[in-house]
């Protein structure tokens, strides 16, 4: 019975591909949101089980519609654990014509906004770099155009997740923390990240600071969340897990005075000038004077520090 249903659906897809019209008066549009979420679950005797979440949006005559949606997941590799030998009719995907094996089929009704999410588990063969997987969705009983180029799943060697790590999770002010990111494909294989755009960020409450992969904790004290973002070649981004980093307080002033950025033992307008020069890159501050210059203690040397020093010099405030 299951085999007959798959063969019938394959015939329907073939009609869609060849342009046969069931209801010529209406136009149909079904969009599979990308990227499709595909998550490894467990290995099963050499094959692998994955959870797949695919969001579909349906329109009839360019208007979102609540209608019955058919969904297929298929690929170029025979799945011996499911319906070995049954193939979808010959299809052209990405300019290449092949027979494709069906891995999963389902139907459901979209909501009033035309949306439906298919959430299912599927068993796939052991992965390799030649595997291709696709999602197709169409409106039941319509001539929904067959298009899978924009619904390909992440495959072997394609970035699917990023995991951030650090050489230590606790530090004292002034220490450095070295960060790294491991990029994995959907099958859990580690990918060479050479040439990839990976950026690192530290989150302090609602404030997010971008940094390199070496974190200087001179201006930091407290608990922070670190994470990384990988930007793929198509512009889509993958955000890593979050790491909690705790930086304990340490006396980094070394006898310096808060506000005394130039180290002359006094707080004057020259200290504000030194801060401004540091901001524009024409002056340097060692670790002790970085702490001294950060009078608002927000972990960033900014114009606010310079103006606060000037307020102190003008006696508009009496402390930092």
Q: Where exactly are the structural domains of the chain?
A: 2-139, 161-248, 252-320
Q: What is the pLDDT of residues 215-247, one digit of tens each?
A: 888 877 788 899 999 998 778 889 999 999 998
**Are the CB atoms for 180 and 213 separated by under 8 Å?**
yes
Task: Please say if the pLDDT value at position 121 is more than 60.
Answer: yes
C-alpha angle 158-160-163 in degrees, rounded to nearest 5: 125
- Report the candidate in 5, 156, 169 with the shortest Cα–Cα distance to residue 72: 5
| Alpha-carbon span 103 to 221, nearest angstrom | 52
Write down the pLDDT at residue 88: 63
Identical fold between 2-139 and 252-320: no
Q: Would the pLDDT of 18 be above 60?
A: no
Mean pLDDT, rounded, for 140-166:
67
Mean pLDDT of the chain: 78
Domain 252-320 CATH assignment equals 1.10.1330.10 = yes
pLDDT over 70, % of the chain: 77
The residue among 295, 167, 159 whose CA lies nearest residue 235 is 159
Burial class (CB in 10 A: 0-12, 13-18, 19+), 207: exposed
| Tens digit of each residue's pLDDT (9 = 90 or more) over 56-90 | 888 888 888 898 888 888 877 776 555 444 566 67
pTM of this prediction? 0.53
Architecture, CATH, for domain 161-248: Sandwich (2.60)
Q: How many CA atoms lie within 13 A of 289 on its CB side?
A: 17
Count CB atoms within 10 A of the CB of residue 275.
29
Question: 2-139 has which fold?
Answer: Immunoglobulin-like (2.60.40)
Q: What are phi and psi of 216, to 5 degrees?
A: -90, 120
pLDDT at 127 over 80: no
Label residue 205 by pLDDT band (50, 70, 90): low
Say which residues have a Cβ less than 8 Å from residue 44's Cβ, sequence separation at least 6.
81, 123
């Amino acid at each position: 019975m299951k085999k007959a249903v798959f063969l019938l659906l394959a015939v329907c897809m073939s009609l869609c591909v060849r342009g046969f019209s069931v209801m010529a008066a209406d136009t149909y549009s079904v969009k599979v949101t990308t990227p499709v979420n595909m998550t490894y679950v467990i290995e099963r005797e050499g094959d692998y089980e994955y959870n797949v979440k695919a969001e579909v949006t349906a329109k009839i005559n360019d208007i979102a519609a609540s209608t019955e949606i058919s969904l297929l997941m298929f690929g170029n590799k025979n799945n011996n654990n499911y319906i070995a030998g049954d193939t979808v009719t010959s299809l052209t995907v990405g300019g290449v014509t092949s027979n494709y094996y069906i891995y999963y089929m389902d139907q459901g009704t979209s909501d009033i906004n035309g949306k439906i999410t298919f959430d299912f588990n599927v068993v796939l063969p052991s992965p390799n770099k030649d595997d291709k997987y696709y999602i197709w969705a169409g409106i039941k009983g319509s001539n929904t155009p067959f298009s899978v180029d924009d619904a390909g799943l992440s495959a072997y060697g394609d970035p699917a997740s990023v995991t951030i790590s650090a050489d230590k999770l606790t530090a004292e002010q002034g220490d450095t923390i070295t960060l790294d990111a491991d990029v994995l494909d959907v099958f859990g294989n580690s990918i060479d990240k050479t040439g990839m755009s990976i950026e690192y960020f530290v989150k302090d409450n609602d404030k997010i600071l971008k940094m390199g992969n070496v974190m200087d904790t001179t201006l930091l004290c407290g608990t922070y969340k670190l994470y990384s973002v990988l930007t793929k070649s198509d512009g889509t981004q993958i955000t890593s897990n979050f790491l909690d980093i705790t930086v304990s307080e340490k006396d980094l002033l070394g006898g310096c005075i808060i506000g005394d950025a130039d180290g002359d033992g006094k707080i004057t307008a020259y200290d504000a000038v030194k801060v401004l020069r540091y901001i524009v890159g024409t002056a340097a501050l060692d670790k002790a004077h970085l702490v001294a210059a950060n009078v608002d203690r927000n972990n960033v040397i900014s114009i606010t520090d310079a103006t606060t020093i000037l307020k102190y010099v003008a006696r508009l405030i009496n402390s930092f």
